[in-house]
Amino acid sequence: MEGSLGSGRLSRSDGQPAPPKISPATEELQSRLQETLDLLSSQELRSFRDHLKKVEPRVSQLKLELEGHSPSGLAKLLAKHYYPPAIANGVLVQVLRLLPRADLLPRWQSAPTDCPVIPRKSLKRSYDCVDGELYRYDLSGKRKAFLMCVKKNRPGAHQDVLLMKDWLNECKFEETLCMILTKWYQDLLEKITSFRDELNEIKDNIGCCLVTLMSHGEEGFIKMKDGEKVSLEDIFEMFNNKNCPALQEKPKIFIIQACRGERRDSGVETDDEPMDLDDGSEKKRLPTFSDYFIIYPTQADHVALRDPRTGSVMIKEMTEVFKQYGNKWHLADFFTIVNNRVVHRDFSLYNKPVKISLVMESTLTKFVYF
């Protein structure tokens, strides 16, 4: 039987009313809401519902409990009852402040009402909110990567290499692998210097550069097999706008998987999962350091974690998030999701609880989409 408009709602052939159509604007708001709610832990999601009832109780408690127990269900409720977007923006800001999740506030403060705050990669969608290509790096040139891993006394390091190689391949990098097998750390500097010099020779045909260093370490340094130290600042400086003109105004990404000290942050709860340490005319002018993005696996002076079976916590979560979301996220948002998962996981080290949080340092001037 065909649907009829007798009561103002379409009917299906089984006699049940068809679900109402969702407008594009409501659908877009729902998508934005879910992107934010996906970043909350289960406990934060429960707290979000509790705060929502106090801030702006437009949805009954029963509906919240029955339909809002998941990020997708809650996003659907919010998009329906807190429309237009200006209302949702104000409510989200208040609730996120109460959680507190101040890191998510920029997504909703002074947000446009007719387009998403979080830019996403789509082949069939224009970047209305980031002014076309103006605020997005052009990665059409070659994507070059340097990968170094110290295996000695780092069980699970081999798994890290496999995961990183797969991730680089998915992001369309021409991966360069450098395994440290010799005693002297000068070998690393020589190989990185050679890698940098090759970039300068490519010049205009380079899109971006990514350097991954996985080793033992301490604050400001990574360690080699023989205990020699390599200054991270020295490595970063090799790729600055003076020493690597080929990468001027192009993203330079550094993934550092190493301890930054020996401090350990104990969590409230613990489990028995064994973990290991990574201790061990007038020319335009640019700042010497710009367009950098550096990600560390832990806070300054703290240990990093690596599972002997599955590899480093950060590297493993990177690949898991990429499997789920692909390349739809800007680089900083991508690692924000990775950090959310890491922060809300509990680890044990020598049968004692330990917590970690990733650290991002950025001088990027545009969005990075792989």
Q: Please say whether the beta carbons of 81 and 21 come within 8 A.
A: no
Closest CA to 337 of 326, 351, 347: 326
Sheet holding 252-257, edge to edge: 174-179, 142-149, 206-214, 252-257, 292-296, 359-362
The catalytic residues are 216, 259
Those residues with Cβ within 8 angstroms of residue 50's Cβ, 6 or more apart along the chain or in another chain: none
Those residues with Cβ within 8 angstroms of residue 349's Cβ, 6 or more apart along the chain or in another chain: 264, 275, 277, 303, 305
Whole-angstrom CA distances from 166 to 75, 160, 290, 311 are 33, 10, 28, 14
92 φ, ψ (degrees, to nearest 5): -60, -40
Q: Cα 60 vs. chain centroid, distance in angstroms?
A: 34
b/e map of 48-69 (b: 16 or more CB within 10 Å)? Answer: bbebbeebbeebeeeebeeebe
